[in-house]
Chains A and B, each alone.
Chain A
């Protein structure tokens, strides 16, 4: 049963794109040097994900299964290009921060994965909602990785947030200390923090399972 509650739960936690499916590793490593970049990438990906899920679901009866992959890829690539052009034209400051990475959304296998495993089999509203839930889950994981890397690596949090979200969000920017462990903002830091994130998620789930088992026994 794909109730909306379950879809939300899957996207945010149980089947989180980064922390459970281990998809979208490329952006998860490449853009998370700061929490702001993680957030920006997450939001852009969410937009593409909702649109692609909606589109794929609405044509799911027309698409023959033998050519579905090329069709999905054409759709996703076009959507990403549209987002790229639109950002460049109308949100140019943000584009200067994220521009290099927008093209990476195309190779984000998470999007094709959702099209293939969910949107092509579900009704349009459900598919759109799944895109939203998966996108938010992805964004949260990206921000979490980015926040840890930024705090440990450069001693700040949400640096240049106003560039992404507008001047009203300048208050998000925190300066904790000077310096920091450079390794964390360089590529190896992405691997280290992702490993930590996966371990933490498993530890939490393990603890919850054990607690559940104890409750079940005493009942």
Chain B
């Protein structure tokens, strides 16, 4: 250990200051890289768990035996990136989950849409949004069961003109005081179904062994 007096003498000198700063930065970097190593696996697992949990909400349990969270394709629909998760059972595709986004009243709304091979909606969940609390946030399943009204829908059920909120002559409820948010979500789900109809053969073809 250096004596107290030596330290007093060294402290004002530039090389000592530079060395101290460098040492601190090095130690900090070392600590961070160790931490990164230790936490990388648990974090990756936790994130994958999040994806799995959100996929499980829109896929019927037991309808798949692969890990759709890992079975990923990337495509885009009118410039909006769409992530396609394919669910298989016994090597046969049973359903897909589209993770996509749309523009709501106050920024991006992220949503996952589960679609069966019969081209029906299995379920819709909102993954993130910044809509007005108390008005537009009724798209969350925790606040209202509005998103459940999509289950079982098909591009022709209701007929295409009725794929809209009531205010626009459609069949889906809007919320009191907030029309833009549900309108955006309805349109996004409809787009997802149309995308499936156009592209699902390609998606499944990629998977064929």
Contacts and interface: CB of A to CB of B under 8 A. Distances in A.
A64 B24 CA distance: 12
Contact of A82 (B4, B35, B133, B134): B35
A82 to B, nearest CB: 5
Contact of A88 (B16, B17, B32, B46): B46
A67 B7 CA distance: 15
A99 B85 CA distance: 26
B100 to A, nearest CB: 21
Given A75-B28, A180-B134, A67 B39 contact: no
Interface in A144-195: 153-154, 179-180, 182, 185-186
Bin the interface of chain A by size. Answer: 20 to 34
Interface in A71-93: 71, 74-75, 77-78, 81-82, 85-86, 88-90, 92
A179 B134 contact: yes
A63 interface: yes
A154 B137 CA distance: 13
Interface in B50-89: 50
A67 B43 contact: no
A62 interface: yes
Interface residues of B, number: 27
A154 B46 CA distance: 31
Interface in B16-31: 16-18, 20-21, 24-25, 28, 31
Contacts of B90: none
B156 interface: no
Nearest to A182: B134
A86 B134 contact: no
Contact of B20 (A67, A96, A179): A67
B21 A70 contact: yes
A151 to B, nearest CB: 14
A21 B12 CA distance: 32
> 3 closest Cβ contacts across the A-B interface?
A89-B42, A89-B39, A78-B28
Interface of B: 4, 7, 11-12, 16-18, 20-21, 24-25, 28, 31-32, 35-36, 38-39, 42-43, 46, 49-50, 132-135
